[in-house]
């Protein structure tokens, strides 16, 4: 089960003294502590009291309004669609799965795929079919073949088109349209997970992040999910989903039974953060910070990695995805790296069928800048050792 991988991952990434490329989370030093302090000390008594109270299941109304404005700026039209605030976007994925999936139902997912979503799908005992992706997005031919060969209609296709976790890629416009064409009229819902879309490194990339849900002229039901975890902090446990009224209503009922509402306290803080105009400057800061981190990682990889190891060049997000020569197994590499004090996540973790294991995910978001080169140096040495052993065996 992928949930076991996640538990191990959380344990390994928090060990003292390790250089960890494992954790897909922000660095603690980047959080907007000053701004949150200021918000807390300037809240009116009435709003402070609301913080302690239950709120509407669909979300704190002023935050829902702020989210609507944010999504409209991304090109999403909200005339008939509804927003549901969730306790992290993982809860949105879980609610959607509960709404549509019964034991044995088929879900299509990218291969590789965000492991948290895989773990949700497994919890609901779905049959997950992995569709390969390349550096442009999902493999359209493979998707067509999978749909044609299935005897059961898949309940939905789950994708992360912007700064994919773990592959770091962004879907091209052509691939987004080709995907919509394949899904049009099939009745297969598309779940578009946009947890990283605001974290592009360069303004030129911003237009490429336009949500697929904003594309017009296709007959596809799309549920769009977003998160505050990567742009404010995962401790907020704040996410949201945008869907048709019909999907929203059932989702709201499911959420009501799960946790009644997402913490009013956190919703109020996040909304104040947006309303006081702190989000945009903070995003500018994060974009600069993460692009600098990636630059450091990139130059270290170029300097230290042996021939035969390649990686994507992400345009945003948290991840670089390394491809090892077929002869090297990322799981055994991991064990040796751990003893050398550096960790990452093995490719197998993100494979719906836990098979492919010649990739590794390096997250550059969490570690201090001055540890990046040392971490890559240690990793590269272990890879070189493994390559040497393989050449001796051959």
Ligand X SMILES: Cc1ncc(COP(=O)(O)O)c(C=O)c1O
Binding site for ligand X (CB under 6 A): 24, 88-90, 114, 116, 160, 165, 193, 195, 227, 229, 234, 239
Residue nearest to ligand X (CB): 88
Q: How far is CA 58 from the centre of its chain?
A: 23
The least distance separating ligand X from the CB of residue 195, rounded to whole angstroms, comes to 4
The least distance separating ligand X from the CB of residue 328, rounded to whole angstroms, comes to 25
Distances (CA, A) of 346 to 169, 324, 331, 333, 341: 17, 11, 6, 9, 16
Closer to ligand X by Cβ: residue 210 or 374: 210
| Inter-residue long-range contacts of 369-376, CB under 8 Å, 24+ positions, other chains counted | 369/292, 369/293, 369/296, 371/19, 372/293, 372/296, 372/297, 372/300, 373/296, 373/300, 373/303, 373/304, 374/19, 375/19, 375/21, 375/300, 375/342, 376/297, 376/300, 376/301, 376/303, 376/304, 376/305
The least distance separating ligand X from the CB of residue 217, rounded to whole angstroms, comes to 27
Closer to ligand X by Cβ: residue 304 or 361: 361
Closer to ligand X by Cβ: residue 160 or 312: 160
Closer to ligand X by Cβ: residue 32 or 88: 88
The least distance separating ligand X from the CB of residue 89, rounded to whole angstroms, comes to 4
Closer to ligand X by Cβ: residue 196 or 201: 196
| Number of Cβ within a 10 Å radius of residue 201 | 19
The least distance separating ligand X from the CB of residue 377, rounded to whole angstroms, comes to 27
User: CB neighbours of 52 closer than 8 A, spacing ≥ 6?
Assistant: 264, 265
Pairing mode, strands 222-227 and 239-243:
antiparallel
Closer to ligand X by Cβ: residue 88 or 352: 88
Residue 229, judged by CB atoms within 10 A of its CB (0-12, 13-18, 19+), counts as buried
The least distance separating ligand X from the CB of residue 96, rounded to whole angstroms, comes to 12
Closer to ligand X by Cβ: residue 98 or 165: 165
Q: Which residue's entry shows tokens 């704190």?
A: 60
The least distance separating ligand X from the CB of residue 361, rounded to whole angstroms, comes to 11
């Amino acid at each position: 089960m992928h949930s076991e991988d996640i538990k191990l991952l959380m344990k390994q990434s928090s060990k003292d003294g390790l250089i960890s490329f494992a954790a897909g989370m922000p660095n603690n030093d980047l959080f907007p502590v000053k701004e949150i302090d200021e918000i807390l000390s300037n809240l009116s008594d009435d709003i402070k009291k609301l913080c302690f109270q239950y709120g509407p299941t669909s979300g704190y109304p002023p935050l829902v309004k702020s989210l609507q404005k944010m999504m409209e700026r991304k090109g999403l039209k909200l005339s008939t669609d509804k927003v549901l605030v969730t306790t992290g976007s993982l809860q949105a994925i879980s609610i959607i799965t509960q709404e549509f999936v019964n034991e044995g139902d088929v879900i299509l997912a990218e291969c590789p795929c965000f492991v948290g979503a895989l773990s949700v799908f497994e919890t609901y005992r779905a049959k997950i079919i992995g569709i390969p992706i390349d550096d442009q997005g999902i493999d359209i031919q493979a998707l067509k073949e999978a749909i044609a060969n299935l005897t059961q209609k898949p309940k939905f296709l789950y994708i992360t088109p912007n700064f994919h976790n773990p592959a770091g890629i962004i879907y091209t416009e052509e691939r987004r349209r080709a995907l919509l064409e394949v899904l049009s009229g099939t009745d297969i819902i598309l779940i578009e997970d946009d947890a990283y879309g605001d974290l592009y490194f360069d303004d030129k990339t911003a237009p490429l992040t336009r949500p697929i849900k904003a594309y017009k002229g296709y007959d596809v039901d799309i549920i769009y999910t977003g998160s505050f975890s990567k742009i404010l902090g995962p401790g907020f446990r704040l996410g949201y989903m945008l869907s048709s009224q019909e999907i929203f209503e059932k989702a709201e009922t499911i959420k009501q039974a799960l946790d009644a509402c997402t913490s009013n306290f956190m919703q109020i803080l996040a909304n104040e953060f947006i309303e006081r105009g702190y989000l945009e400057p903070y995003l500018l800061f994060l974009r600069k910070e993460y692009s600098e981190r990636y630059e450091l990682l990139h130059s270290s990889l170029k300097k230290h990695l042996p021939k035969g190891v390649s990686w994507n060049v992400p345009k945003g997000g948290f991840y670089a995805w390394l491809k090892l020569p077929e002869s090297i197994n990322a799981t055994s590499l991991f064990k040796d790296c751990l003893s050398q004090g550096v960790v990452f996540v093995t490719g197998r973790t993100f494979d719906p069928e836990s098979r492919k294991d010649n990739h590794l995910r390096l997250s550059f978001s969490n570690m201090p800048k001055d540890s990046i080169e040392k971490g890559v140096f240690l990793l590269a040495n272990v890879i070189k050792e493994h390559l040497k052993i393989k050449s001796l065996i051959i």
